[in-house]
Structure 1
Amino acid sequence: MADPVVLRDLLREKHWQKYQTFLREYDKAAASIDSSLVGTAPSRAQLHRWQCGELKGLPHPQHCEVLEAMFPGRKAAEMFVPAQRSAAPSTADLAAAVGDGLEGVAPVPSAWSTPLRPVPESSGPLPAKTLRGPAHDQAESLARALQLLGKRRRIPDEEIAELALLAGHLVDLEMECTIDIEPDGWSSVTYRFELLNLTNAPIKRLLREQWFENTDGVRIEPHPDGERRVSIQRLHDIGNMTKFACVLSPPIEPGGIGTVSYTSRGGRFVHDHYWQQSTPRNTRHLTLTIRHRGVDMLVGCTAVEDQPDGAQVSAIDDLFCVEDDEGALITLTRDYLQPGQSVTIRWEVARGGS
C-alpha cells in the first residue's frame, strides 16, 4: 500500500481537503497563470490517488504549475514525496477532544480532517498504550472506546482524532441503502446503519421516515440482530410519508456500536426513476445500491451530492453501473457526509420493444 504524500497534509493545513473547496482554490490559482487552465483540475478520484501516493512520478506539467501557484514556495516534486507519519494521539488527547464535544464547544471537523497534537508516550515493561484502572469520567471512557475502535477496525489515528471532535453526537460509521425493484416496479428498500454512540446517554430509539412517490401503503419489517432486538413503532402516516421509530433493546451504550436494519415495502417506481438519500447524521461511509430487474439496458445515469449550504456537486466519479442477465445494477459510494447533505441518483432504462 502506498504512503500518503505531502500534498495531502498541505491541503489539510489550508482546509482545502473537501473536493469542491479544492476546485475553487485550484481555479483561483489557475486563473492567475492562464485563463485557459481554469477548469482543468483533476477529478475527485484522481485527486484521491494523488494524495494516497498512488501516482507514479508527477502529474501533468500544467497540474504541477497550478499546484505550485496554490502553495507558493513549494515545488511540485516536494508535494509528491511520502508525508511523515504522526504519532497516535494519546488517551489524554482524545479525552480532551471528547470533553469539548460533550460540552458543545468542539470545533466541527471539516471533512473529519483536523488532527490532534500527539503527546509523547513513555516506554516501560508494558505497552505504552496500556490503560490502567477504570476511566475517571465519561470523556475518558469514550476516548478509550475510540482507541479500541481504531485498533479493531484499523482506522487511522488521524481519523480517530477527528471522530473525537464529534463527541456528543450519534455517528453513522456505515449507512447502506439497497433498493430492489421488480420488473413491474414494486420495490423493497433495505437500510442498514452501523451506529457509534458518542453521546453520554444510551440510545434507545432511532427516528426514521419513509417516502414513496407511488405506494399502496408502507410496510416496515425490522431485521433481528445478534446483540439487540429492533421493533418498529409507527408514529404518523401522512399521504405517502410514514414516520416511525426503531426501538432498540438493549440500547446502544455510550461508546458502543450497534447495528439497526429494516426493510420497507410498498413503494412502486412507475415513470420517474430517481432516489434521493439524505444523511441525518455525520456519516463516515454511505453505500447506495439500486438493483432494477427486468430491464434490457441503462440509457443514462447521473448522481449529484447536495451540500448543507445548498451547493450541488457531481458524484459521477463514485458511481458504478453494470448491466447483467438480471437487469441493471447501480452503486454509489460517498464518504464523510454531514447532517443535512443528500445524494440523488437518476437513471433511465430501456425495455424490450421500447
Structure 2
Amino acid sequence: MSDQMNKRSLGQIIQPYIQMFDVPLILIVSMILAVGTVTLYSAGIDFPGRVEDHVRNIVIAFVVMWIAAAIPPQTLMRFAVPLYVTGIVLLVAVAQFGLIRNGARRWVDLGVVVQPSEIMKIAMPMMLAWFFQKREGVTRWREFLVAGLMLIAPVGLIMRQPDLGTSLLVLAAGFYVIFLAGLSWKVLVAAAISVAASLPVVWSMLHDYQRGRVLTLIDPTTDPLGKGFHIIQSTIAIGSGGITGKGWLNGTQAHLEFIPERTTDFIFAVFSEEFGLIGNCVLLFLYLLLIGRSMIIAANAPTLFSRLLAGAITLIFFTYAFVNMGMVSGILPVVGVPLPFFSYGGTAFVTLGLGVGILMSIQRHRKLMQS
C-alpha cells in the first residue's frame, strides 16, 4: 500500500509538468527529432562532438518549449510590443557596430553574442497578431498598410546584413498574419503584379552572391565546381538513394564529403541517399502531421491573437520544410534555411522550440477556459 501511495504521489508531482505538453504535438516533434538525430549521426560522423551538441540543443529546445507552454497567451500578448521593439533596436545596433563573420554583419556582442534576426522570426508574428487583436472588428486598408510598414522595417534591416534566407522567413511570418487577418485577394493580386514589375529593381539591389544563387538554380552546370556545386551534389545524392536508399551509414556522397553543409542546410540530401524515396515519404508524412496538428490548434484558438499567432507559426513550419527540401532538390535557390527539428543548429532549435511551446500554450489554455 505504501508503495502504491508513493507511486501515486510521484505521479501527482510529475503530472502538472507533463500537462504543459500537447501529447499529439510532442509525439510528432519527438519522432522528427529521433529521425533527425539518427541521420545527423551518419552525416556528422567526421565531426567529433556534433551529435552531443545536437542532443544538448534538443534539451534546450524542450526547456524553452516547456516554459513557453506554461505562459498564458494573454501574457504572451503583453510581450509582443517589447519584444518587437527590442528586436528592431538590436537590428539597428547590428547595422551600426555588429560583428562581421564570413562577410556578413549579423551578430551583436552584448556580453553574449546575439543574432537579432532570429528574434524577429517570433517577434514579428506576435507583434502583428497583437496589432490586429487591438483592432478586431475595425480592420480597414489603413490597418493593413500600417502592418505592412511594421513588417518592412525589420525585413529591410535583415536584408542589409545581408541575410536573404532569414529576411524571407521573417517576411513570410509577418505576411501570414496579415493574410490570416483578412487581407483581400484583390490586394494580393495587385501586390503580386507590383512585385513582378519591380523585379528588375530588386535584381539590381541583390548582392553578387545572391544573383549567383538564382542563376545557378536555372543552370547549375554553368559553374559546377563553384556556385553550382551544392545543388549538383545534393541532387546526385537524392537520386542515388533510389526507392529504398543505400542504408544507414552507407551514403557515399555524404561520407566521401561531396555534400557540403551536410549536417545543417543539406542534411535532407544525406537522409534521401540513405533512406531513399520510402524514407522521404515517411518524413513528409511526419511534417504533414506536424502541420495538421498545428492547424487544428490554430483553428480552435479562442481569441484573434492566438488564432493569428498559431496560424502564422504553423505556416512558418511549412515554409521551413518546403524551402529547405526545395533548395536541396534544386527547385528553389539556396538560401540557408534549416530543415525544422532535423538540421543541426542552436538558435534555430530555440526558435522552433519556442514556436511549438506557444502552440501548446494556446491549446492548453483553451482547454482550461472550457473546463
Q: TM-score, normalised by structure 1?
A: 0.27
Greater helix proportion: 2
Which structure has more relative contact order (CA 8 Å, sep 6+)? It is 2
